[in-house]
Amino acid sequence: MALLRRLALDREMAGSLQTQIAGQLKKLIQTGELSSGERLPSTRELSNSLQVSRNTVVAAYDMLVGQGYVEAQLRSGFQVCRATQAFRSLPVASKVTRERKQTPSQPGVPVPFRPTQPDVNLFSLQIWNRHRTRVLKRGSCLLHYQSRFPVGLDELRQNVAAYLRDSRGVQCQWHEVAITNGSQQALFLLANLLLKPGQRVYMEDPGYPGARNAWTHAGATVIPLPIDEEGICLPEGDSQCASLMYVTPSHQFPLGTCMSLARRLTLLRAARDAGSWIVEDDYDAEFRYSSSPQPSLQSLDENRRVIYIGSFSKTLFPALRLGYVVLPPPLVDSFAALKSIADDYSPLIDQATLASFLESGAFYAHLRRCRKQYAERQSYFLQLVSRFGLPLRFPITGRGMNLVGMLPGNFNDRVCSDRLRLAGLDVPPLSHYAVGPTPPGLLFGLAAFDNRAIQRGIARMAPVLQGKGMDRSE
Ligand SMILES: Cc1ncc(COP(=O)(O)O)c(C=O)c1O
């Protein structure tokens, strides 16, 4: 059969052999080289000719049947589907070229010292899967549409509310808790719900780019405000204030400052007087090593102007994509309506698994384990930095997953970061997070890297930071 000579497999190519066979046959059908009604070689013939198993050929034919290119004939094998003329008008060539140009990539693992990464290896998938299996045994309800739960399963909202009340002093009823796809979705939905184009948002500078993007995407004007040792500095005598203020009071991102009580009260007063909303992002408050954590800003708020957000990305693992918002009562319904437009609700099986994980206490055991490891990693990193005599100063330590290392004033942090990248390290410059001028510094993530990785990372970093050409004149 002439067709057999036109098919050839490249065994070096990524992807399965059945996909290659199906792809080549599909192209011949699309270009008209195989016409409608034409019989295809039997699975035995094709498997002999291509030196592959018959199962591989059957799987390729099944794929083409599923896509409507080929039809199975009772007792006489497979033939090109009679309706395939229509496919020929498709712009095959341009589609194929587009696919060829984009090389598919695989998910990777973070390299030292990429910030904001938890150590996912400390997380027990075995325990997680046990909870998952248990919730799936309840029956098929989690597999159906459940549009009555746009802001999450009640059992999860109850567990999250209890956790936030106990550990962060958050004032909340469980029905004020909304579950989102990571805290990034909470930021996006809040921006859409609360901001009109041109309205002002106060943000710490340097600050979290994910939040800045959400506000600017909604058309708001972001006003970057400086940070001193007490936290964000509101402009003096500003009668207008802003419609929304975004802050990270427990552990300022990225500098690490903990907002003073006096500054917290000033912020709450300003929000009350101007009728502004405060978004408190409590992204990594669980990780305190040398002192007990301050309660949340929301816990001090008597006027319910604070919207509290948090995430399981740091405490469990980022791919889970589950976060939460505690909403003041007037926003509960409108937030739920918007969330339901966005995606109906967040994945239910993961939500139910997480509820069971929290309920059982496994969450707290995991947190204790992480806290111990992360504290040890921070102190090991600081010991090595000083042993190597690196030109870095760490003003705030003893908490969080990241540390900011300040460089000498004449250094250019972008040049440093670029050179570290060439050495295989991922250490963003402080200026990456800032809108205005900022002293030179680097942001190190330490939580995800064990002592061996830290040791190797520092050994690579030392010659770069101690080398020449790091100053601002570069
Ligand atoms: C300050 C801050 N807020 C929020 C997030 C986002 O977390 P999520 O993964 O829940 O979207 C991050 C992630 O790095 C962060 O650093």
Which atom of ligand 1 lies closest to the CA of 115? 14
* Range name among 55-69, 144-158, 171-185, 459-473 with the lowest pLDDT average: 459-473
Ligand 1 pocket mutation, candidates 117, 311, 350, criterion most atoms within 8 A of CB: 311
Which atom of ligand 1 lies closest to the CA of 254? 1
The helix (H) or strand (E) run that includes residue 214 is helix 209-217
What number is the average pLDDT over the span 313-340? 98
pLDDT at position 76, please? Answer: 77
Helix axes 154-168, 348-360, angle to 10 degrees: 40
CA–CA separation, 244 and 274 (whole Å):
10
Expressed in angstroms and rounded, the spacing between residue 268 Cα and the centre of ligand 1 is: 23
The helix (H) or strand (E) run that includes residue 96 is helix 92-101
Task: Name the more confident of 181 and 89.
Answer: 181
Q: What pairing do the DSSP bridges indicate for beta strands 177-180 and 323-326?
A: antiparallel
Whether residue 92 has pLDDT greater than 70: no
Q: 37-69: per-residue pLDDT in tens? A: 888 999 989 999 999 999 998 888 888 888 888
What number is the average pLDDT over the span 143-152? 97
Give the closest residue to 351 by CA, choosing from 325, 322, 326.
322
The CA angle 88-13-70, to the nearest 5 degrees, is: 30
Contact yes or no for 279/204 (Cβ under 8 A): no
Whether residue 426 has pLDDT greater than 80: yes
The two tokens of residue 327 are: 């909403």
Expressed in angstroms and rounded, the spacing between residue 186 Cα and the centre of ligand 1 is: 10
Look at the chain and count its residues: 474
Q: Is 283 in the pocket of ligand 1 (CB under 6 A)?
A: yes
Q: Is 12 exposed, middle or buried (0-12, 13-18, 19+ CB in 10 A)?
A: exposed
Q: Is 444 in the pocket of ligand 1 (CB under 6 A)?
A: no
- Phi and psi for 10 in degrees, rounded to 5? -105, 105
Q: Is 185 in the pocket of ligand 1 (CB under 6 A)?
A: no
Expressed in angstroms and rounded, the spacing between residue 406 Cα and the centre of ligand 1 is: 23
CA–CA separation, 270 and 9 (whole Å):
69
Q: Is 381 exposed, middle or buried (0-12, 13-18, 19+ CB in 10 A)?
A: buried
| The amino acid at 140 | S
Give the closest residue to 169 by CA, choosing from 64, 305, 75, 301.
301
Whether residue 192 has pLDDT greater than 60: yes
Whether residue 395 has pLDDT greater than 60: yes
Task: Please report which confidence band the pLDDT of residue 293 belongs to, taking 50, 70 and 90 as the band edges.
Answer: confident
Residues with Cβ within 8 Å of residue 126, at least 6 apart in sequence: none
Q: Is 323 in the pocket of ligand 1 (CB under 6 A)?
A: yes
Cross-strand pairs, 202:
223, 245
pTM (2 d.p.): 0.84
**Other C-beta atoms within 10 Å of 107: how many?**
5
The owner of tokens 């002439």 is 2
How much is the mean pLDDT over the chain? 93
Whether residue 474 has pLDDT greater than 50: no
Q: 341-380: per-residue pLDDT in tens? A: 999 999 999 999 999 999 999 999 999 999 999 999 999 9
Cα dihedral 316, 286, 372, 362 sign: negative
The helix (H) or strand (E) run that includes residue 283 is none
Cross-strand pairs, 186:
none
* Range name among 80-89, 274-283, 302-311 with the lowest pLDDT average: 80-89
pLDDT at position 74, please? Answer: 73
pLDDT at position 65, please? Answer: 85
The two tokens of residue 364 are: 């707290």
Residues with Cβ within 8 Å of residue 286, at least 6 apart in sequence: 167, 293, 314, 315, 367, 371
Which atom of ligand 1 lies closest to the CA of 182? 10
pLDDT at position 367, please? Answer: 98
pLDDT at position 237, please? Answer: 79
Task: Name the more confident of 423 and 240.
Answer: 423
User: In degrees to the nearest 10, what's the CA dihedral of 415, 420, 425, 427?
Assistant: -40
Ligand 1 pocket mutation, candidates 313, 316, 320, 444, criterion most atoms within 8 A of CB: 313
Contact yes or no for 377/458 (Cβ under 8 A): no
CA–CA separation, 295 and 415 (whole Å):
39
Task: Please report which confidence band the pLDDT of residue 87 belongs to, taking 50, 70 and 90 as the band edges.
Answer: low
CA–CA separation, 215 and 210 (whole Å):
9
Give the closest residue to 99 by CA, choosing from 13, 18, 34, 5.
13
